[in-house]
Amino acid sequence: MLDIVRKDSFRNGVHPPEHKGETSHLAIRRFAFAPELLVPLTQHLGAPAIPIVREGQEVVRGQTIAEPDGFVSVAMHSPASGVVKRIALAPSISGAMVPSVYLRPYPASSQEVNDGEHCDVATASPDDIIKAIQRAGIVGLGGAAFPTHVKLKAPEGKHLDTLIINGVECEPYLTTDHRVMLEQTADIFLGVRYLLRATGAREVIIAVEANKQDAARKLQQDCPEDLPISVRVCPVKYPQGAEKLVIKSLLGREIPSGGLPADVHAICVNVATTAEIGRLLPRGRGIQERVITIGGPGIQRKGNYRIPIGTTVRFALQETGAASNISRVFLGGPMMGPAVSNLDIPITKGTSGITAFTTAETGEATGHKKVYPCIHCARCVESCPLFLNPTQLGLLAKNEEYDQMAEEFNLMDCFECGACSYVCPSHIPLVQYFRLAKKMLRKLSAPA
């Protein structure tokens, strides 16, 4: 059943310093309620949820405060018992102002969580489960924030045979999935039952990287005998956590360019998402908090925290004792995490961590590296897990040849893992070029 250290992996990729030992031994702790919480109505990809509370209304923790708008949308739940102060625009990580619910928690409240409509795995139909997952507001907690229930519905004519529970967590500094696997095995296995029932998959593989052997052992020990689960330990390599690559590593199947996991009869769900399904669905609750890693050299009390959705980055940094010389803060890990330009943005369902760097990491000596011309060293070509040609793409981006980038060099396949920029000895901001190019292409192709 256990298949510790398989040689199978994807090709290329990089090995950034992991820094996981700083927080991987720290058990998940509850985070304090901030005096004010900001719950954006767009924490997921898809249509924003429609608020069903009004300003001044009292809400109970776990109560649904916004309903999904259509199929590709999920519900929102109140992260605390308190009063809705207002529904207005609030800053977000992208820089855009997004409609949000401002909530003031009652300091004296017991913060008891409201139960909702139960969903029993033994009796629920696949459609019941899919609806319950949407009702629970569950999205991919690995960072993509794609509504999970949408993934579970296989496209017409496609059958799913393998369910992959993704516990790879390849980003440096992040240890949330690691802790969830150690502390919430029962939730994970219950979540797997729901997912198996919803998708009809026959086989389950839990993917873990070799730097989390204790989690792999724990999962193997606790695994119920009636579940068709195997735990696989992959060699550590970034970006193995990406859906395409974890499927390639485990099954050897290659998702076609522009395709979905369903095209190779697989479905991939993040392990923390699975645990939330198992934790919330039996009692009909919704996501009103999530586990994040707060770490990096700029944080004094590093750790893994179960933090209410809507807590601002500023409050999180103050509570964990951010150093006075922090210079760069980003959500998630250093490879893909977007930099925070405004500390008053809230933590959302898709936030897997907060990492803070100090001037020591970003200062003259290491951070602001001189950009040289491309010397064709081909390190980016050797690092790209999708076999794109970053050096050529970089040159084309510089000349604003966006169409050629997409048509001849598969720009749209790039999922911005950052491996090319990480290895570039000329410090060319390749991923930044690619993001810009994609944005320009979308802009150009959008109807006027």
Partner 1 sequence: MSELKKYLEIGSSPHITSGDSVEVIMRNVVFALIPVCAFAVYTFGAAAALVLVTAIISCIFTEQILCKVTGQPSTIGDWSVGVTGLLYGLTLPPDLPLWMVAIGGVFAVAVGKFLFGGLGSNAFNPALVGRAFLQAAFPQAMTHWAAPLGDSRFFELPSSTLALPFAQPAYDAVTEATPLALMKFDGIQAVDRDLLLGLTSGSAGETCAILILLGGAYLVARNMMNWRIPISIFATVAVITWAFNSYDPASFARPTFMLFSGGLMLGAVFMATDMVASPITNAGCWLYGFLIGGLVVVIRFWGGMTEGVMYAILLANAVSPHIDRLIKPTVFGTGKGAG
Query: Rule CB under 8 A: which residues touch partner 1?
Result: 14, 16-17, 172, 244, 248, 254-259, 263-264, 314, 317-318, 322, 324-330, 334-341, 343, 357, 361-362, 369-370, 372-379, 381-382, 385-389, 391, 410, 413, 416, 418, 421-427, 429, 431-432, 435
Radius of gyration of the chain (CA): 21
Instruction: Give backbone dihedrals phi and psi of 390, rounded to 5 degrees, phi first.
Output: -60, -35
| Residue showing tokens 């690092």 | 383
Q: How far apart are CB 237 and partner 1 at their closest, in Å?
A: 14
User: What SS3 state is found at 115?
Assistant: coil
Token pair for 314: 């500023």
In whole angstroms, what is the distance from residue 140 CA to residue 379 CA? 31
Nearest to partner 1 of 136, 322 (CB atom): 322
Q: How far apart are CB 187 and partner 1 at their closest, in Å?
A: 30
In whole angstroms, what is the distance from residue 6 CA to residue 306 CA? 32
Q: How many CB atoms are closer than 10 A to CB 213?
A: 13
Token pair for 373: 């011309």
Nearest to partner 1 of 189, 422 (CB atom): 422
Bridge partners, residue 76, by sequence = 66
DSSP output for 67-83: E--SSS---EE-SSSEE
At residue 114, what is the residue type? Answer: N
Q: How far apart are CB 217 and partner 1 at their closest, in Å?
A: 30
Nearest to partner 1 of 234, 374 (CB atom): 374
In whole angstroms, what is the distance from residue 17 CA to residue 245 CA? 20
Nearest to partner 1 of 64, 421 (CB atom): 421
Q: How far apart are CB 373 and partner 1 at their closest, in Å?
A: 3
Nearest to partner 1 of 30, 368 (CB atom): 368
Nearest to partner 1 of 78, 359 (CB atom): 359
Token pair for 77: 């739940």
Strands (E), 332-429: 353-358
Q: How far apart are CB 113 and partner 1 at their closest, in Å?
A: 29
Nearest to partner 1 of 30, 376 (CB atom): 376
Buried b (16+ CB within 10 A) or exposed e, 176-186: bbbbbbbbbbe
Q: How far apart are CB 301 and partner 1 at their closest, in Å?
A: 15
Q: How far apart are CB 402 and partner 1 at their closest, in Å?
A: 17
